[in-house]
Amino acid sequence: MDIGNEPTGSKVLKPLLAVIATLALSEIFIADFMTYEMPWLIVGRLYLYAGTGIIIASTAILILHEKEKKSLLPASQLQRRIALILGSLWILDGILQLQPEMAFGFAAFVLTPVAMGSPEWLQPALNSAIATWAAHQVLFDAMSACLQIFIGLGMIVLKSRRNLVIFSAISFVWAILIWIFGEGLGEIFSPGFSFITGFPGSALIYAIMSFFIMQDVDETVTVKRISVFMVVLFTLSALIQALPWNIFWLSGSISHITYSLGYNAQPRPLVYLMFHAADILAAGNTIWNIVFTLFMVLIAISWLKNVKIASLMTAILTSSFWFIGQDFGIFGGYGTDPNTALPIIFLALIMFQSGKNGLRSNVNGGNPVPLD
């Protein structure tokens, strides 16, 4: 994903990811049209509004692209890689927001359950936001989808430092709003929240990634800041997972989550694998919880020592959670993003390309040196 001379791995990986995403989205939309009884007038309005918005957004991006100076590239290739990944995630989220059932069920089946699971002090604000959204549901759904696609296109297409900072700032603000009103602060006040099920919320991860892109710093500094973030994330996740009153110590708790996800609308092979994984988890719930907790602790320590090892461990553990605890985020009828796991996986893989010494000092005559 480098600018200019793109590595061979990226040239192969990006088309592969595009094919996988296309197949997954095709499956989702086909299942939607087969499952739901559509109020076609409402769905038609959604796509009319969204089509108009996407044309406007694409035109704006093209105009900005023509005006920007091609020589003004981001200071850090690492930040450019993060922007490409985050932009792709925003486009994916925008497309998921355009699932036909969102036009008539998003407020009732996504926003309302989030509000019900939120703390009492936050519920008035969430209920007010839900009422406003429900009053203009089709228009707001189309506008939010177009905004996300606009942000994603800007991060992918535009290359000047100035434009990247602007779109990262928009991304940061929108992600925080989603985290508060769409995810109820990542549902961190709900019983049984865990990194397995999506703590601390994908929108917050988007906001943090946007922050990393906005910073005009050396790549070495960005690597260290991301490492600090990973240390904090996995330390907190391990502590939460280890709490004596955490429901994950109860017999069958982890397997129950996986079993319930197996009933989501999704391809049959995934259903089979989900139920098989749940059977394995059910055979030793307490042992699995100990293993997951210790693995999180080990990952947090690894981010202090060696980025490459920590990145691989993070990608492996998080991928398993993405499957057993989050069902890849996009299945189930009203999935609007791939959940917390995927951006963490991508961030870990980006870091694998970028460094190997974690938070240890890298000094050469008092100046930072690249970690590659």
Q: What is the pTM of this model?
A: 0.88
Higher-confidence position of 32 and 243: 243
pLDDT of 3 > 70? The answer is: no
Q: Which of 148, 108, 140, 141 is nearest to 127 (CA)?
A: 108
Torsion of CA 63, 68, 69, 74, to 10 degrees: -130
As a whole number of angstroms, the distance between CA 243 and CA 191 comes to 12
In this predicted structure, the answer to whether residue 241 has a pLDDT above a threshold of 80 is yes
CA angle, residues 121, 125, 129, in degrees to nearest 5:
155
Are 337 and 201 in contact by the 8 Å Cβ rule? The answer is: no
To the nearest whole number, what is the mean pLDDT of the chain?
Answer: 85
Q: Which residue has the higher pLDDT, 7 or 365?
A: 7
- Spatial distance between the Cα atoms of 284 and 279, rounded to a whole number of angstroms: 9
Out of 110-114, 311-315, 366-370, which region has the weakest mean confidence (pLDDT)? 366-370
**Residue predicted with more confidence, 371 or 272:** 272
The span from the CA of 50 to the CA of 96, in Å, is 12
Q: Which of 69, 291, 228, 40 is nearest to 159 (CA)?
A: 69
pLDDT in the model for residue 265: 78
Residue 366's pLDDT is: 37
Say yes or no to pLDDT of 38 above 80.
no
For residue 114, give the nearest of 127, 101, 102 by alpha carbon. 127
Q: Which residue has the higher pLDDT, 156 or 18?
A: 156
Q: Is the peptide bond before 200 cis (omega within 30 degrees of 0)?
A: yes
Q: Which pLDDT does position 191 carry in this prediction?
A: 75
**Secondary structure of the chain in HEC code, one letter for each residue:** CCCCCCCHHHHHHHHHHHHHHHHHHHHHHHHHHHHCCCCHHHHHHHHHHHHHHHHHHHHHHHHHHHHCCCCCCCCCHHHHHHHHHHHHHHHHHHHHHCCCCHHHHHHHHHHHHHHHCCCCCCHHHHHHHHHHHHHCHHHHHHHHHHHHHHHHHHHHHCCCHHHHHHHHHHHHHHHHHHHHHHCCHHHCCCCCCCCCCCCCCHHHHHHHHHHHHHCCCCHHHHHHHHHHHHHHHHHHHHHHHHCCCCHHHCCCHHHHHHHHHCCCCCCHHHHHHHHHHHHHHHCCHHHHHHHHHHHHHHHHHHHHHCHHHHHHHHHHHHHHHHHHCCCCCCCCCCCCCCCCHHHHHHHHHHHHHHCCCCCCCCCECCECCCCC
Residue 5 confidence (pLDDT): 45
* Tens-place pLDDT, residues 275-329: 999 999 999 999 999 999 999 999 999 999 899 999 999 999 999 999 999 989 8
Span 73-87, pLDDT tens digits:
655 788 889 999 999
CB 64 within 8 A of CB 154: yes
Name the band, by pLDDT with cuts 50, 70 and 90, for residue 4: very low
